[in-house]
Structure formats: structure tokens, C-alpha cells
Amino acid sequence: MISRIHFIRHGITEGILNRWYYGATDMPLVQEAIDEVLGFKSDNIYPLDLADDTDFYTSGMTRAEQTLDVIYGDVPRKAIPNLAEMSFGRWECKTFSQLEQEPEFDEWMSCTDNSFVFPEGDSILSFYERVEKGFDELLGLHRLKELSHRHSGKDATSVIVCHGGVISACMERFFPGDRENFWQWIPAPGRGFTLYLEDGEPVRYEEI
């Protein structure tokens, strides 16, 4: 049986427009994002012909909730907080040029093992660990859906609207080597990936 998990990154925020480093800051979408996502929807970018029992999830952050609303309306959904974006702590909402003035900047640039901790925020390692827990929670819920469909022959489908770094960490976990590094997995705002699963395990993907 083939089942699907659709990963969608939230739409554009003020932070994206201003090229800020941010993750934990709970920003809403800007109007440009709503217009762009509606355009993607009109162009049939998103999977819209979904079964009535499709499960919907978000990270619980405003920008993810709003993006789900724009695409699918006011559907029931479950929040998975461990799939929230990385926290840059004291560096939230600053540009790269501003970060160059921070006393920890050189340490960050020279760190090669992902152990650097953003001041009062996450380290990349702790972020990966948290996202792994969040995805395992999502995968467990999705596998229950698969089991409930096994005798009916219907496909199980889940939709999760979350964040670029989160999606990248998940894709890198299951498809190592398909792209050069973490950053190349990050989808554009409003875009994402469809994961195809066999026996509960991701086996291939397509871009949304």
C-alpha cells in the first residue's frame, strides 16, 4: 500500500521579506503570501482532491495555521509543536549583517559540527533532535491511519504545514545524499514535498 504525507512550507512573512534570521518569533503571513498561495492553489500546485478522512497537521505557529487555512479552509487539525522552526534566540529578527556584529558570530562561522548554540536559542543538533521527535510523532499517527485503511484498500493521506528548516531536516533524514546539504532541501515559501510511504516508511518524494 502506498500512502502519502504532504509537507508544505508556510507562506511569506515580514521576516522573509526582510531576510531576517527568525524561527521562534510567531509572525503572521503578509498579504503577498496569501495572494501567492491562492495563486498556487489556482494553478493546482497543491494536492486538493483529498479523501474526506485526510489528517491535517501544523506546527501550531500562526504562519503555518494561516497557510493551511488559505489552502484547505477551516479544517480540523492537530498541532505538533516539535515541528516548529529553529529558535535563533537573541538573534531573532536580525539580518546577517547585523549578526556579523555579534560577539559569537566568529564562533558560529567556524563551527563545523553543528554544536553551536544560538544565544538563548537552539543548537542545530538540538533542533534536529526535536524535529526527529516531531516527525516520529507525525509518522506514528500516519501509520495508525494506514492500519485503519489496510482492509479497505484506501490510501492514507496526511498534510502537514510547517517550516523550511523542519522540512529540510526531515528530507535530509530519509533521503541522505540526494542533495548536497541541508540548505538545498529548503523549499520556497508555499511549496514543499510529497512523501510516498510503503509499509510506513518513506521511499520516494516529489516536489510540490
- pLDDT tens-digit profile of 131-175? 999 999 999 999 988 887 777 767 889 999 999 999 999 999 999
pLDDT at residue 191, as a whole number: 98
- pLDDT tens-digit profile of 57-79? 999 999 999 999 999 999 999 99
Q: What is the spatial distance between Cα 157 and Cα 149, in angstroms, rounded to a whole number?
A: 10
pLDDT at residue 178, as a whole number: 92
Task: Give a yes or no: residue 118 inside a domain.
Answer: no
CA 181 to chain centre: 16
The pLDDT mean for the chain works out to 93
3-state secondary structure of 78: strand
CATH at residue 47: 3.40.50.1240
CA 172 to chain centre: 12
Question: What band does 83 get if pLDDT is binned at 50, 70 and 90?
Answer: very high
What's the domain count of the chain?
1
Task: Give a yes or no: residue 51 inside a domain.
Answer: yes
Q: Which of 40, 1, 68 is nearest to 208 (CA)?
A: 40
Task: Give a yes or no: residue 117 inside a domain.
Answer: no
Q: What is the spatial distance between Cα 146 and Cα 142, in angstroms, rounded to a whole number?
A: 6
Residue located via cell numbers 516536489: 207
Poorest-pLDDT segment among 108-112, 120-124, 131-135, 176-180: 108-112
Within 10 angstroms of residue 153's Cβ, the number of other Cβ atoms is 7
Q: What is the spatial distance between Cα 84 and Cα 163, in angstroms, rounded to a whole number?
A: 7
* Bridge partners (DSSP) listed for residue 157: 4
pLDDT at residue 36, as a whole number: 97
Q: Which of 82, 159, 149, 161 is nearest to 122 (CA)?
A: 82
Please give the residue range of the domain that contains residue 7.
Answer: 2-87+123-207
Task: Give a yes or no: residue 196 inside a domain.
Answer: yes
Residues 6+ apart with CB under 8 A from 26: 61, 62, 63
Q: Which three cell numbers stand for residue 5?
A: 504525507
pLDDT at residue 115, as a whole number: 83
Task: Give a yes or no: residue 55 inside a domain.
Answer: yes
pLDDT at residue 105, as a whole number: 87
| Percentage of residues in the chain having pLDDT higher than 70 | 99
Task: Give a yes or no: residue 98 inside a domain.
Answer: no
pLDDT at residue 59, as a whole number: 98
Within 10 angstroms of residue 91's Cβ, the number of other Cβ atoms is 21
Residues 6+ apart with CB under 8 A from 108: 99, 116, 118
Per DSSP, 173 falls in state H
Task: Give a yes or no: residue 78 inside a domain.
Answer: yes
Is 208 within 8 Å of 191 (Cβ atoms)? Answer: yes
Q: Say how many CA atoms lie within 13 Å of 168 toward its Cβ.
A: 18
Q: Say how many CA atoms lie within 13 Å of 74 toward its Cβ.
A: 0
